[in-house]
């Protein structure tokens, strides 16, 4: 039973764990969204490589085989790389890093990636205080 001391004045509950709203880790340190992106990118790369190989070997079965191998390798390698990159950083670090990269290198795609509100200025900061 919940006591009244657990409810704050704004109506939120004080005892909820900090990690309640985090995405769970599914495979090799990847969340479900990261796993889908990693599998999708590696699958697309496998399709790009597998299609010419299927024509070269005159067998249509080569393309799906290369796609499956590419997905397995992509999740294995990509999971390890992303796990090392995310270690010790906040949950949203990866997404902000991707938004920042798009804002710096592909400015036309910035509104679609949600990076329009990012601060991309580089230089010295000042408090404008003079002695």
Domain residues of the chain, as ranges? 23-86, 90-117
CA distances from 30 to 23, 27, 38, 56, 76 (A): 9, 5, 9, 35, 10
- Please report the beta strands in the chain, taking only residues with DSSP state E, as ranges in sequence order: 25-27, 30-31
Residue located via tokens 């990118």? 41
Q: What is the mean pLDDT of residues 35-64?
A: 93
Give me the long-range contacts of 33-36 (CB less than 8 A, separation at least 24).
Answer: 34/82, 34/94, 35/75, 35/79
DSSP symbols for 32-62? HHHHHHHHHHHHHHHHHHHHHHHHHTT-TTH
**15-49 pLDDT, tens digit each:** 666 666 666 777 787 888 888 989 999 999 999 99
Pick from 10-14, 59-63, 87-91, 97-101: least confident: 10-14
The band of 130, judged by pLDDT with boundaries at 50, 70 and 90, is low
């Amino acid at each position: 039973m919940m006591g009244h001391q657990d409810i704050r004045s704004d109506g939120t509950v004080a005892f909820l764990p900090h990690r309640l709203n985090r995405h769970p880790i599914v495979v090799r340190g990847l969340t479900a969204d990261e796993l889908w992106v990693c599998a999708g990118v590696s699958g697309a790369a496998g399709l790009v490589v597998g299609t010419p190989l299927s024509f070269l070997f005159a067998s249509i079965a080569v393309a799906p085989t290369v796609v499956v191998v590419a997905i397995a390798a992509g999740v294995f390698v990509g999971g390890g790389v992303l796990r090392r990159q995310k270690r010790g950083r906040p949950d949203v670090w990866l997404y902000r890093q991707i938004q920042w990269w798009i804002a710096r290198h592909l400015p036309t795609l910035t509104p679609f990636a949600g990076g329009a509100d990012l601060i991309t200025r580089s230089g010295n900061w000042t408090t404008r205080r003079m002695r």
